[in-house]
Structure 1
Amino acid sequence: MRIRKITRATAVAGMTLAAIGVMPIAHAEGASGTTKALMASCPGDGHISRNYTCTTLGSGELYHQKYTNNRASTWYKKTGGGSITARVGYNRSGSTAWSGWFSQSSGTTKTGSWSNVTYCAGTVGLLEVRGQQTYQTPLANCSG
Protein backbone atom coordinates (compact mmCIF):
# COMPACT_ATOMS: atom_id res chain seq x y z
CA MET A 1 0.00 0.00 0.00
CA ARG A 2 1.38 3.42 -0.94
CA ILE A 3 0.75 6.47 1.24
CA ARG A 4 0.81 9.91 -0.27
CA LYS A 5 0.16 13.21 1.43
CA ILE A 6 -2.11 15.77 -0.22
CA THR A 7 -1.98 19.40 0.88
CA ARG A 8 -3.14 22.71 -0.52
CA ALA A 9 -0.35 24.54 -2.28
CA THR A 10 -1.33 27.99 -1.10
CA ALA A 11 -2.26 29.56 2.22
CA VAL A 12 -3.77 32.92 3.03
CA ALA A 13 -1.24 35.69 3.75
CA GLY A 14 1.09 34.01 6.21
CA MET A 15 -1.53 31.83 7.93
CA THR A 16 -0.87 28.15 8.39
CA LEU A 17 -3.15 25.66 6.68
CA ALA A 18 -4.58 24.55 10.04
CA ALA A 19 -5.36 28.16 10.98
CA ILE A 20 -7.64 28.54 7.94
CA GLY A 21 -9.31 25.18 8.53
CA VAL A 22 -7.48 23.14 5.89
CA MET A 23 -6.02 19.92 7.21
CA PRO A 24 -3.53 17.84 5.22
CA ILE A 25 -5.05 14.58 4.05
CA ALA A 26 -3.10 11.38 3.51
CA HIS A 27 -4.44 8.91 0.97
CA ALA A 28 -3.74 5.19 1.10
CA GLU A 29 -3.80 3.52 -2.29
CA GLY A 30 -4.34 -0.23 -2.29
CA ALA A 31 -3.14 -2.77 -4.83
CA SER A 32 -6.44 -2.48 -6.73
CA GLY A 33 -5.87 1.25 -7.21
CA THR A 34 -8.68 2.32 -4.90
CA THR A 35 -7.93 5.34 -2.76
CA LYS A 36 -9.03 5.91 0.81
CA ALA A 37 -8.44 9.27 2.47
CA LEU A 38 -7.09 9.10 6.00
CA MET A 39 -7.97 12.30 7.83
CA ALA A 40 -5.78 13.89 10.48
CA SER A 41 -8.90 14.09 12.69
CA CYS A 42 -12.66 13.99 12.46
CA PRO A 43 -14.37 17.40 12.09
CA GLY A 44 -16.96 18.37 14.70
CA ASP A 45 -19.99 17.82 12.45
CA GLY A 46 -18.76 14.42 11.26
CA HIS A 47 -18.98 15.33 7.56
CA ILE A 48 -15.64 15.22 5.78
CA SER A 49 -17.09 15.40 2.27
CA ARG A 50 -19.85 13.95 0.16
CA ASN A 51 -20.27 10.26 1.07
CA TYR A 52 -17.46 10.44 3.67
CA THR A 53 -18.35 10.73 7.37
CA CYS A 54 -16.84 10.08 10.78
CA THR A 55 -17.51 10.01 14.51
CA THR A 56 -15.06 10.80 17.30
CA LEU A 57 -15.21 8.27 20.13
CA GLY A 58 -13.44 8.26 23.49
CA SER A 59 -10.65 5.98 22.27
CA GLY A 60 -10.50 6.72 18.55
CA GLU A 61 -12.34 7.70 15.38
CA LEU A 62 -14.81 5.75 13.25
CA TYR A 63 -14.87 6.51 9.50
CA HIS A 64 -17.24 5.51 6.69
CA GLN A 65 -16.73 6.24 3.00
CA LYS A 66 -18.46 5.23 -0.22
CA TYR A 67 -16.79 5.22 -3.61
CA THR A 68 -18.15 5.86 -7.13
CA ASN A 69 -17.45 2.21 -8.06
CA ASN A 70 -20.24 1.16 -5.61
CA ARG A 71 -17.85 0.06 -2.88
CA ALA A 72 -17.92 1.15 0.75
CA SER A 73 -15.44 0.98 3.61
CA THR A 74 -15.76 1.50 7.34
CA TRP A 75 -12.68 1.71 9.54
CA TYR A 76 -11.84 2.37 13.16
CA LYS A 77 -8.64 4.19 14.08
CA LYS A 78 -8.00 3.32 17.74
CA THR A 79 -5.90 5.95 19.47
CA GLY A 80 -6.18 5.04 23.17
CA GLY A 81 -7.59 2.74 25.81
CA GLY A 82 -7.20 -0.99 26.23
CA SER A 83 -7.62 -3.72 23.65
CA ILE A 84 -11.11 -4.45 22.34
CA THR A 85 -12.86 -7.15 20.35
CA ALA A 86 -14.99 -5.49 17.69
CA ARG A 87 -16.28 -5.54 14.15
CA VAL A 88 -17.07 -2.79 11.62
CA GLY A 89 -19.98 -2.62 9.24
CA TYR A 90 -22.51 -0.41 7.53
CA ASN A 91 -26.29 -0.07 7.55
CA ARG A 92 -28.56 0.88 4.65
CA SER A 93 -32.31 1.12 5.19
CA GLY A 94 -32.27 -1.32 8.10
CA SER A 95 -30.04 -3.89 6.38
CA THR A 96 -26.61 -4.37 7.97
CA ALA A 97 -23.39 -5.95 6.69
CA TRP A 98 -20.48 -6.73 9.04
CA SER A 99 -16.80 -7.60 8.84
CA GLY A 100 -15.56 -10.49 10.93
CA TRP A 101 -14.71 -9.98 14.61
CA PHE A 102 -11.19 -8.72 15.31
CA SER A 103 -9.01 -7.79 18.29
CA GLN A 104 -7.67 -4.27 18.24
CA SER A 105 -5.17 -2.38 20.36
CA SER A 106 -4.30 1.30 20.55
CA GLY A 107 -2.37 2.70 17.60
CA THR A 108 -3.99 0.42 15.00
CA THR A 109 -6.67 0.77 12.31
CA LYS A 110 -9.09 -1.99 11.30
CA THR A 111 -11.10 -1.82 8.06
CA GLY A 112 -14.04 -3.58 6.45
CA SER A 113 -14.92 -3.18 2.75
CA TRP A 114 -17.99 -4.17 0.76
CA SER A 115 -19.04 -4.13 -2.89
CA ASN A 116 -22.46 -3.52 -4.47
CA VAL A 117 -23.18 -0.55 -2.19
CA THR A 118 -25.03 2.00 -4.30
CA TYR A 119 -23.02 5.22 -4.26
CA CYS A 120 -25.92 7.62 -3.64
CA ALA A 121 -27.86 5.38 -1.22
CA GLY A 122 -27.74 6.68 2.36
CA THR A 123 -25.57 4.54 4.64
CA VAL A 124 -23.99 4.81 8.08
CA GLY A 125 -20.76 3.23 9.24
CA LEU A 126 -20.92 1.01 12.32
CA LEU A 127 -18.56 -0.20 15.03
CA GLU A 128 -19.80 -2.91 17.40
CA VAL A 129 -17.58 -3.42 20.44
CA ARG A 130 -18.17 -6.75 22.19
CA GLY A 131 -19.46 -6.16 25.73
CA GLN A 132 -20.11 -2.46 25.09
CA GLN A 133 -22.35 -1.03 22.39
CA THR A 134 -22.63 -0.21 18.70
CA TYR A 135 -21.43 3.20 17.50
CA GLN A 136 -22.25 4.85 14.18
CA THR A 137 -21.19 7.65 11.87
CA PRO A 138 -23.52 10.32 10.48
CA LEU A 139 -25.39 9.46 7.26
CA ALA A 140 -23.22 9.32 4.13
CA ASN A 141 -25.09 10.18 0.93
CA CYS A 142 -24.79 12.20 -2.27
CA SER A 143 -26.36 15.34 -0.87
CA GLY A 144 -24.00 15.88 1.99
Structure 2
Amino acid sequence: MRNATRIIGTALTGALLVAAGASQAVAGGNWDYNCSRTSLSNGYLFTCIYTEDINQPDGSSYWKLSDSYKKDRGDTPITAKFGFNYHGYSYEGGWFSQSKGETKDAWFYDLGFNDCSSIVGWLAAQGQSTFHNAPVTIC
Protein backbone atom coordinates (compact mmCIF):
# COMPACT_ATOMS: atom_id res chain seq x y z
CA MET A 1 0.00 0.00 0.00
CA ARG A 2 1.15 3.54 -0.69
CA ASN A 3 1.40 5.82 2.40
CA ALA A 4 -0.05 3.33 4.87
CA THR A 5 1.45 0.97 7.38
CA ARG A 6 -0.55 -2.09 8.32
CA ILE A 7 -0.67 -2.80 12.00
CA ILE A 8 -2.11 -6.16 13.03
CA GLY A 9 -4.92 -5.71 15.55
CA THR A 10 -5.46 -2.45 17.29
CA ALA A 11 -2.14 -2.04 19.07
CA LEU A 12 -2.75 1.56 20.01
CA THR A 13 -1.40 2.75 23.33
CA GLY A 14 -3.11 5.08 25.72
CA ALA A 15 -6.77 5.57 26.41
CA LEU A 16 -9.03 5.31 23.40
CA LEU A 17 -11.95 7.67 23.64
CA VAL A 18 -14.83 8.03 21.25
CA ALA A 19 -15.26 11.72 20.54
CA ALA A 20 -18.54 13.35 21.45
CA GLY A 21 -20.81 13.62 18.47
CA ALA A 22 -19.65 10.44 16.72
CA SER A 23 -22.77 8.64 15.61
CA GLN A 24 -23.76 5.58 13.63
CA ALA A 25 -23.03 5.58 9.89
CA VAL A 26 -26.03 6.50 7.76
CA ALA A 27 -26.04 5.72 4.02
CA GLY A 28 -22.26 5.44 4.02
CA GLY A 29 -21.48 8.25 6.50
CA ASN A 30 -23.04 10.83 8.83
CA TRP A 31 -21.83 13.91 6.89
CA ASP A 32 -22.40 12.88 3.29
CA TYR A 33 -22.87 9.59 1.46
CA ASN A 34 -19.18 8.71 1.66
CA CYS A 35 -18.02 10.96 4.54
CA SER A 36 -18.34 11.24 8.30
CA ARG A 37 -17.59 14.28 10.42
CA THR A 38 -17.08 14.52 14.17
CA SER A 39 -16.85 17.78 16.10
CA LEU A 40 -13.89 17.87 18.50
CA SER A 41 -13.14 20.60 21.02
CA ASN A 42 -10.80 22.48 18.65
CA GLY A 43 -12.06 21.53 15.20
CA TYR A 44 -13.57 18.88 12.96
CA LEU A 45 -12.39 15.38 12.04
CA PHE A 46 -13.44 14.06 8.61
CA THR A 47 -13.17 10.53 7.17
CA CYS A 48 -14.16 10.02 3.52
CA ILE A 49 -13.89 7.06 1.13
CA TYR A 50 -13.81 7.09 -2.68
CA THR A 51 -13.45 4.49 -5.42
CA GLU A 52 -10.20 4.41 -7.36
CA ASP A 53 -9.88 4.09 -11.12
CA ILE A 54 -8.24 0.67 -10.86
CA ASN A 55 -9.86 -2.67 -10.07
CA GLN A 56 -8.98 -5.56 -7.82
CA PRO A 57 -8.26 -8.95 -9.47
CA ASP A 58 -11.90 -9.99 -8.88
CA GLY A 59 -13.11 -6.91 -10.82
CA SER A 60 -14.34 -4.94 -7.80
CA SER A 61 -13.03 -1.44 -7.17
CA TYR A 62 -10.09 -0.50 -5.02
CA TRP A 63 -10.83 2.30 -2.56
CA LYS A 64 -8.96 5.29 -1.19
CA LEU A 65 -9.61 6.90 2.19
CA SER A 66 -8.96 10.42 3.38
CA ASP A 67 -8.74 11.48 7.03
CA SER A 68 -8.54 15.21 7.66
CA TYR A 69 -8.63 17.54 10.64
CA LYS A 70 -9.63 21.20 10.44
CA LYS A 71 -8.19 22.87 13.56
CA ASP A 72 -10.06 26.14 13.92
CA ARG A 73 -9.77 26.67 17.70
CA GLY A 74 -7.10 26.30 20.38
CA ASP A 75 -3.85 28.24 20.29
CA THR A 76 -1.62 25.29 21.24
CA PRO A 77 -0.23 23.38 18.22
CA ILE A 78 -0.66 19.61 18.18
CA THR A 79 1.43 16.69 16.95
CA ALA A 80 -0.81 13.95 15.64
CA LYS A 81 -1.29 11.14 13.14
CA PHE A 82 -4.27 9.77 11.23
CA GLY A 83 -5.44 6.23 10.76
CA PHE A 84 -8.47 3.99 10.40
CA ASN A 85 -9.75 0.63 11.62
CA TYR A 86 -11.36 -2.00 9.38
CA HIS A 87 -12.07 -5.66 10.22
CA GLY A 88 -9.90 -5.62 13.34
CA TYR A 89 -6.88 -4.13 11.58
CA SER A 90 -5.50 -0.66 12.17
CA TYR A 91 -3.80 1.37 9.42
CA GLU A 92 -1.91 4.55 10.24
CA GLY A 93 0.02 7.39 8.63
CA GLY A 94 2.97 9.43 9.85
CA TRP A 95 3.16 12.14 12.48
CA PHE A 96 2.54 15.80 11.61
CA SER A 97 2.33 19.14 13.44
CA GLN A 98 -0.70 21.39 13.16
CA SER A 99 -1.63 24.88 14.34
CA LYS A 100 -4.92 26.74 14.59
CA GLY A 101 -6.24 27.74 11.17
CA GLU A 102 -4.72 24.75 9.37
CA THR A 103 -6.33 21.71 7.78
CA LYS A 104 -4.18 18.57 7.54
CA ASP A 105 -5.00 15.32 5.77
CA ALA A 106 -3.65 11.86 5.03
CA TRP A 107 -4.57 9.59 2.11
CA PHE A 108 -4.57 5.79 2.15
CA TYR A 109 -4.66 4.11 -1.29
CA ASP A 110 -5.30 0.72 -2.91
CA LEU A 111 -7.67 -0.45 -0.19
CA GLY A 112 -9.60 -3.67 -0.78
CA PHE A 113 -12.83 -2.88 1.07
CA ASN A 114 -15.25 -5.59 -0.04
CA ASP A 115 -18.26 -5.55 2.27
CA CYS A 116 -20.52 -3.22 4.25
CA SER A 117 -18.43 -3.36 7.43
CA SER A 118 -17.74 -0.11 9.24
CA ILE A 119 -14.55 1.81 8.57
CA VAL A 120 -13.62 4.07 11.49
CA GLY A 121 -11.16 6.91 10.93
CA TRP A 122 -9.20 8.33 13.84
CA LEU A 123 -6.83 11.08 14.93
CA ALA A 124 -4.22 10.30 17.62
CA ALA A 125 -2.85 13.46 19.25
CA GLN A 126 0.41 13.15 21.25
CA GLY A 127 -0.18 13.68 24.95
CA GLN A 128 -3.95 13.47 24.43
CA SER A 129 -6.32 10.77 23.29
CA THR A 130 -7.17 8.96 20.09
CA PHE A 131 -10.36 10.47 18.71
CA HIS A 132 -12.55 8.21 16.60
CA ASN A 133 -14.83 9.43 13.85
CA ALA A 134 -18.30 8.12 13.09
CA PRO A 135 -18.09 5.05 10.84
CA VAL A 136 -18.31 5.12 7.05
CA THR A 137 -19.12 2.21 4.74
CA ILE A 138 -18.83 1.50 1.03
CA CYS A 139 -22.54 0.61 0.91
**TM superposition score category, shorter chain reference:** 0.5 to 0.7
Count of paired positions? 101
Stretches of structure 1 that go unaligned for 5 or more consecutive residues are 1-42
Q: How far off is 1:44 after superposition?
A: 8.4
Q: Quick check: which has more Rg, 1 or 2?
A: 1
Q: 1:132 aligns with which of 125, 128, 134?
A: 128
Report the TM-score when normalising by structure 2: 0.66
Once the two structures are superposed, residues 44-76 of structure 1 have per-residue CA deviations (whole angstroms, 9 ceiling, x without a partner) of: 857112221010000000000000221011011
Identity level (%)? 35
1:133, 1:104 → 2: CA distance? 16
Q: Which runs of 4+ in 1 moved over 3 A?
A: 43-46
Q: How far off is 1:121 after superposition?
A: 4.5
Stretches of structure 2 that go unaligned for 5 or more consecutive residues are 1-20, 24-28, 53-62
Q: CA 1:85 to 1:44, structure 2 compared with 1: closer, same or farther past 3 Å?
A: closer
1:109, 1:124 → 2: CA distance? 19
Q: 1:87 aligns with which of 78, 81, 87?
A: 81
What one-letter code is carried by the residue in structure 2 that aligns with 1:108?
Answer: E
What one-letter code is carried by the residue in structure 2 that aligns with 1:127?
Answer: L
> Relative contact order: is structure 1 or structure 2 higher (C-alpha 8 Å, sep ≥ 6)?
2
- Secondary structure in structure 2 of the residue aligned to 1:68: strand
2:48, 2:94 → 1: CA distance? 19
Q: 2:37 aligns with which of 54, 70, 75?
A: 54
Report the TM-score when normalising by structure 1: 0.64
Q: How far off is 1:90 after superposition?
A: 1.0
State the superposition RMSD in angstroms.
2.0
